[in-house]
Structure 1
Amino acid sequence: MKKNIASLSFLIMSLAASAQTATTTSTTPSIDKPGYNQWSIELNGGVNKPIRTMTAGYATETLNLFHGDLGVRYMFNPKFGLKLDFGYDKFQEADDTAPFESTYLRTDLQGVINVGRALNFEQWTKTFGLLVHGGFGVSQLTSKNGFDGEDYMGNGILGITGQVRLGDRVALTGDLTGVVNGKQNWNFDGMGRTTSGAFDGGLLNASIGLTFYLGKNEKHADWYAEENDRLTKLEDRVDLIETGLLDTDKDGVADLYDLEPNSITGVAVNTKGQSIDTNQNGVPDELESYLDKTYAKKGDNNLTNSTVEELINGGYVNVYFDFNSSKPTNASLSGVDFLVKYLKNNPGKSADIIGYADEIGNSSYNTELSRKRAEAVKKVATNAGIDASRLNVIANGEDTSVNKNSKEARQIVRRVTFQVK
């Protein structure tokens, strides 16, 4: 009997080994979706300087506080985009001039050119960038102690923004922008009317700020080098082809086309590399036939109960888990199926479901993790038709029987095993 169990356990452990080396089929991202983020929010603050339309006897400081700007930008590609921004400027008197206070608000839609990408800055730096922006909008001027009401006008705007990349989600910016108003009726101080014609008020803004990048991709379009990315994708495709032509499980089907790249060696497969399992019981037909012929009683098509029970209690039937996970690996669910079939064939039997964890991490945490793993296996068994009263969960915590520094050994002890009684 022991010799028979050893032979049978070798085949079952082949199933377990398949569970440990199960791979997930890789998928290629859609080429229709860009590999970079497109949205960003810009927040700036600084100084302003009116360069025209001031009433005689009124003036601001050379660098007048305060200017603020808030913008939302969308890049169609790494070189071109649009932004909608809102600007705020406050004007006050300089020393030794007549007092005044006025407020200037504007909203503009601007085109954006990423000069850094257009000129291939990435060839010499991944830290510094440069944007040019310009467009048109509307403005409003109000005065605290000058004219009554509001002065509305159109404006043209043009600016340049230097960028310093602080990370994938934020960049430091410095901006210099000029604004020209059309049909401005009142001077910036609000104390007198303009006299210079159709394009009246001129304004300079200098500011520093931050740009925050939004999206799920690693990089924003501001820092995305298309040519480098194309080369990387080409290299990835070549690597995929080279590795895909390998036949890891030696079943005659290349991994690239193999839907089951970890099938048991020697077991017949179909043209897609899948083990042939006509009755869909999780055991390949060729292996099932061998087990029945080798270990079944005469006239009985099933393994003897004593053999199955010894295999289960001997630790040859297990369910395995990934690191820090309480979800059984798909390939190792056959271990649950093995137990379920035994309990259905033996309604008077019950089973302990025993969870384990490796030694990485806190001991109390690992004990709880081992309990969650056992509970997860119990749920699979009850969903398969086994009454919960026949299943007892035990949390055995860390299994210290293997070398904790070995990744492969730790995989073996991240498991749930069974004891039937």
Structure 2
Amino acid sequence: MKNFLLLLTAIFSFNFSNAQVAVDTTGTLGDSYNRWTIDVYAGQAKGIKPYADGYYSSDPSRSFGGFQVNSFGAAARYMLSPKFGLKMDLNYDKFTNQKGSGSLDFETYQYRVGFQGVVNAVRLFGLEDSVGRFGLLLHGGLQISRMHSDLLDKDELNGGLIVGFSPQFRISNSLSVVGDISLLNNFRQHLSWDGSYADSSENLSGQMIVMTLGLSYSFGNEKIHGDWAIIQDKKDKEIEALNGRIGEIETLMNDSDKDGVPDYLDAENNSLAGVAVDTKGRMVDKNTNGVPDELEKYIDNTITNNNNVALSKNMIEQLINEGYIAAYFDKSNSQPTPASADNIGFVLNYLRNNPTASVEISGYADEVGDSAKNEKLASTRAENVKAILIKAGINPSRLNAKGAGIDSSVDKNSDYARRLVRKAVFKITN
């Protein structure tokens, strides 16, 4: 008995103290779940002890002592957090002997009310993903009852502790099947469950067990109750946001062309390796002839001075054909950016110096927006670059403009990466 009372008291204290702590430390994101439930249920209430000689509630000839539907009740539950809550229940129990059991006839009944703490065991142990629609609630607290004995025509007010567990199965977002098995212990119970006065050896104590099955209905402004809702923790949300910001910073600090200038500051994201750039990442071209000064110097010193014209031409063609020289565009814009003038000028100079050469211009768009519009925009970008070269004196017959469509080679969620694919590239044809 002492061990039993200690167990009940410990569970009762644990439920209420932790429920209070949960209000302060829970990491749920506001009221993203419903908190209230109403339960209705019915089942069997069976007094365990005390009984007078000749009285008992079970039928020894039946499995589990026979079954009677003699307990009916309703309960309201409010969850302080997804793990802890409070519950109030109202119940009616009727105790009679089973016909043919051999017990003397008796009839007693009681009304009782319970005030309990509730623990959502599934959430407590983090098993939401594993159990799916199933759930398990643990509960314990105080109960007060009023028992009436027909035998003595006497009423008695009792009180004690209750502890139990409630398996659940969710039918819909608001309706669940709920079972329950509870053990009650009364203090200062003078009457036996058969209605007679208890023997002195068992006076002041009474125990009973209740097994019920019913329905649980949840309500509130949200779609689903906290027993079942998927709830994100504040800390997880903060970590996710922090990771996002770190990712943005990493993207900002990318240096695609390895010129020492981060992409977010780089006005020319395709500068040649080893060529000097200014603070905005643009290749230095003091004489504005469209050829970076260091490249021009290299050509003069290494090629012109050695009269190796074929090598000079092949190297420049390689730079153009492999996309090192390209025109870039702002979002939804079909005209090249001002910074692209140097690259278009590079191609212009090549065409002027190689009158038999032709060039194919391919326009691209990024993945953001309507696909059909992006396809058209890619074609328009190529045509506009062609128009610039024509106005610069290049015969239209040497220029072929086409739309190459959408370039999906970069992360479409990165603004800086998308800048690299809003472009027109060139290919020398002879």
Q: Normalization by structure 1: what TM-score?
A: 0.46
Q: Normalization by structure 2: what TM-score?
A: 0.45
